[in-house]
Chains A and B, each alone.
Chain A
Amino acid sequence: MPMTPKERMAITRQQMPERDPLERNQDFKEVNVGFGEAIAKLEAERCLQCKDGKCMYGCPVGIDIPGFLDCIAEGDMKGAAELLLGANSLPGITGRVCPQEEQCEQVCIRAKGKHGEPVAVGHLERYVADWARENLDMKTLLAEPTGIKIAIVGSGPCGLTAAGELAKKGHDVTVYEALHAPGGVLTYGIPEFRLPNKIIDSEVDRLRQMGVKIVCNVVVGRTFTVDELMNEEGFQSVLIANGAGLPIFMNIPGENLKGVYSANEYLTRSNLMGAYTFPEYDTPIIRGEKVVVIGGGNVAMDAVRTAKRLGAKEATLVYRRSRKEMPARVEEVHHAEEEGIIFKMLCNPIRYIGNDEGWVTGVECIQMELGEPDDSGRRRPVPIKGSEFVVDCDLAIPAIGTRANPLLTSTTPDLKLNKWGYIEADESGATSKPGVYAGGDIIRGAATVILAMGDGKTAANAMDRYVREKNDLPLLEEVSVAPPMECGG
């Protein structure tokens, strides 16, 4: 007997169990503990099973959300996992780092009204992904092998997603990663406490089980050029998903003092190189007592919360606009606050101050006020004359964004770039170079994991069509390889 909408409406949103803020800000273990079976089932039952649910349109990778939630509610975990994994190759990652509150959950019908609370799609996605990791054989999702070789440059969210999609479509996929470990920003950027490396490893292992080859230590643009991949290595199509890996500095005095790190360097040392365990791992990291992080995005949140965990007595976030304009996820800001991060809003650094030995000792800031809206629609911050003040620090971390890395594009002259150096791609991901597609931050500038994944999926579909047409192979059905199915139970 299916539940009535009224019964479903009567269930309130289940809370994600979290570790105690003052305990967790001392270590790098995951903050969110994850749903148990009973909570997951209860939460899934809150879904009203809308026909043509809006949530699916809010999802960049087009997951059949009501479908997989229904499977959870019915206790059919295999069905839930097949639906989820059919649409999304990295659910363990997206379930943890997607801004669901701006996507599926924002448009959930249960979010409507004054006291409305959306179904916790993200937490349930994570729950199913964690189940699938132990229990689902991915081979059941693979199409007939085509023998067509496809190369993917970069093993971040866009590249891995595309790899999964293309493997499901039967292609022989090789992913080239410049660093020594796969995952891109998921590995070097996002800290353990938000996305444990073992989750990335297991998602990558799942891709390997699907036949995807992952080759590390290959810098496309230096080790190979894109042309060589296509002309000499036999790849019929190439996806460029190498991210926007060049950190932006503000070009203010003192930026090269010791104790000023780009957020990329700080997070790479800690996450990729394991510097937070030094001397167990060889890579050192400066552990500040008073740390200032500049910026208002997710990377800034990651950096400032890492600083707290590395022993900072004062970890301060400096942002030039107000709280409302912060681009970081609500959950991250909330977690940071709980963990004792100090927020200094409406202030902007104008120079770093150093001592005789070249170490940073402070950041001089100027107070800002909000003026007229700028191009982004947010109110433009304007400095208030004479309001300069100094924030003492022994570590300062600008986290103000990245720009396009020219390493690959400079060796691929027939690839059309926009004026910022990002690759121009159409809505399918196709670039100006036949057979070459691009997605993620290298086409859109610094964005989110899920948008990069959406690009990866879109490009994978287009690449599949491209190589199938080129090789006179029948086209696969569009949507997904695993057709929506009735749940057992």
Chain B
Amino acid sequence: MFRILDTRQLASDVKWFKIDAPLVARHREPGQFVIIRLSETGERIPLTMADADPENGTIELIVKAIGKTTKLLCTKNAGDEITDVMGPLGMPTHIEQVDHAVLVGGGVGTAVIYPLAKALRDSGCYVTSITGGRTRELVVLEEELRKVSDAVFATTDDGSHGFHGTVADKLRELIAEHGAAAATQHRPPSQGGPQGGDTDGGGESDTLPQPLPEREGSVSPVGAIYCAGPVPMMQAIAELTRPLNIKTIVSLNPIMVDGTGMCGGCRVTIGDETKFACVDGPEFDGHQVDYRELWDRLTAYRAEEQDALKRWEEHECKLAGATK
């Protein structure tokens, strides 16, 4: 059993959790995830860790209530327990040695890019974050991102908040403004970032960095994109950056069961190879991903998922009715 120590509602259906999981916290690196199970009859679902504190033995998760399991999880509060938390899983994020990285999060994909923003900024890179949604309520973590990014843009498809358009539209604008550094023109690892990677205090600190002071002078061309969100969004970003040859890393979210490479349920086609997202990923070169297949495979249990959710909601309604 893993105890929930603290929670915070970030949006109507997005919740932040701090969980006591010392063994997981000890080795967690940005980009890694856990697999959780809520009860003996529950399913196993992967969730990216937003952060971890090895000293206090805690991990942080940001969860959007979508299906039965995530909705049930979002009813839980401090003091409640989670039956299983397994991890850390997956390969840590590869921190590209670039001057300027743009992080693009669509909907709850923003929870995936949030820890990457922190890691990249700690490495000395100028970080721009774009978080988007169809409408105002679906834009999440904007404030949290401000604490780990040099610039943050929110976008909405309907213009109800921030930039009116998609995250891809905003990225296109950013690239037009700052230019693009093609994948071959990355600075070598030995060179410091704009602030000097080694001297950046944020890299040594366990606490959230404070909002950054405005930087002077011009912002470097965009050297790398990190992207997580709905499949069509990641595909749109990859298509945008492909002709510009900007390194584009996507964090994939296929259906998983065990998370150790044992079942192969999370297989994705990268170039002409089949990879297992749980052990080879979850991050891959966005220009190599077969998005059509990924999208198809994500729909495999749509009917069952809807059925499970409906049953759960009916059950919850009955419970709510009974307690009235």
A residues within 8 Å of B by Cβ? 178-180, 188, 216-219, 222-224, 245-247, 249, 251, 255-259, 261-262, 264-265, 268-269, 273-274, 278-284, 286, 357-358, 405-407
With contacts A180-B44, A245-B262, A281-B43 known, what are 4 further pairs, Cβ within 8 A?
A: A188-B258, A247-B263, A358-B292, A358-B293
Q: Which residues of B contact A179 (CB under 8 A)?
A: 86, 258, 260
The dominant DSSP class at the B interface is: mixed
Q: How many angstroms between the C-alpha atoms of A341 and B297 in the bound complex?
A: 28
Taken together as a complex, chains A and B put the C-alpha atoms of A268 and B262 apart, in Å, by 9
Q: Does B58 contact A (CB under 8 A)?
A: no
Contact A265 B260 (CB under 8 A): no
Contact of B83 with A by CB under 8 A = yes
Interface-central residue, B23, B292, B299, by most chain A CB under 10 Å: B23
B69 touches A282 (CB 8 A): yes
Residues of B contacting A279 in the complex (Cβ-Cβ under 8 angstroms): 304, 307-308, 311
Quick check: B43 and A273 within 8 Å, CB to CB? yes
Q: Which of A247, A257, A265, A273 contacts B44 (CB 8 A)?
A: A273
Q: DSSP class of A's interface residues: helix, strand, loop or mixed?
A: loop
B86-101 interface bits toward A, Cβ cutoff 8 Å, 1 = contact, 0 = none: 1111000000000000
Separation of A24 and B246 alpha carbons in the complex (Å):
59
Residues of B within 8 A of A (CB): 23-24, 26-27, 37, 41-44, 68-69, 83-89, 257-265, 267-269, 274, 279, 292-293, 296-297, 299-301, 304-305, 307-308, 311
Taken together as a complex, chains A and B put the C-alpha atoms of A96 and B68 apart, in Å, by: 37
Which B residues touch A259, using CB under 8 A? 300
In the complex, what distance in Å separates the CA atom of A217 from the CA atom of B269? 28
- Contact assessment for B27 and A265 in the assembled complex, using a CB-CB cutoff below 8 Å: no
Please name all residues of chain B whose beta carbon is closer than 8 Å to the beta carbon of A218 when the two chains form the complex: 23, 86
Taking a contact as CB atoms under 8 Å apart, the answer to whether A258 and B299 are in contact is: yes
Query: In the complex, which residues of chain A have a beta carbon less than 8 angstroms from the beta carbon of B86?
Result: 178-180, 216-219, 223
Q: Which residues of chain A have C-beta atoms less than 8 A from B267's C-beta?
A: 249, 256
Given contacts A268-B258, A279-B307, A279-B308, contact A262 B44 (CB under 8 A): no
Closest to B265 in A: A265
Report Cα–Cα, A256/B270, bound state, in Å: 12
Residue of A nearest to B24 (CB): A223
Contact: A283 with B44, CB < 8 Å? Answer: yes
With A180-B86, A268-B257, A284-B308 known to touch, is A357 a contact of B296 (CB < 8 Å)?
A: yes
Closest A residue by C-beta to B292: A358
Which residue from chain B places its CB closest to the CB of A269 in the assembled complex?
A: B257
Nearest CB in chain B to that of A218: its residue: B23
Closest Cβ neighbor of A177 among chain B residues: B86
Shortest distance from the beta carbon of B278 to any chain A beta carbon, whole Å: 10
Q: Which of A223, A255, A259, A261 has the most CB of B within 10 A?
A: A223
- Chain A residues positioned under 8 Å from B297 (CB to CB): 256, 258, 358
Q: How far is the CA of A112 from the CA of B1 in the complex (A)?
A: 55
23 contacts between A and B (CB under 8 A): A179-B258, A180-B44, A180-B83, A217-B84, A217-B85, A219-B87, A222-B88, A222-B89, A223-B24, A223-B27, A255-B274, A256-B267, A259-B300, A262-B263, A262-B265, A264-B263, A265-B263, A269-B263, A278-B304, A279-B308, A281-B43, A405-B262, A407-B261
Known: A222-B89, A256-B274, A264-B264. A216 touches B84 (CB 8 A): yes
- The answer to whether A222 and B257 touch across the interface, beta carbons within 8 angstroms, is no
Smallest Cβ distance from A205 to chain B, in angstroms?
A: 16
B23 touches A224 (CB 8 A): yes
- Quick check: A284 and B257 within 8 Å, CB to CB? no
Whole-angstrom CA separation of A219 from B33 in the bound complex: 13
In Å, the complex CA distance between A268 and B268 comes to: 19
In the complex the two chains form, is A249's CB within 8 Å of B274's CB? yes
**In the complex, are the beta carbons of B41 and A274 less than 8 A apart?**
yes
Interface residue from B292, B299, B305 paired with A284 (Cβ < 8 Å) = B305
Complex contacts, A178 vs chain B, CB 8 Å = 86, 258, 260
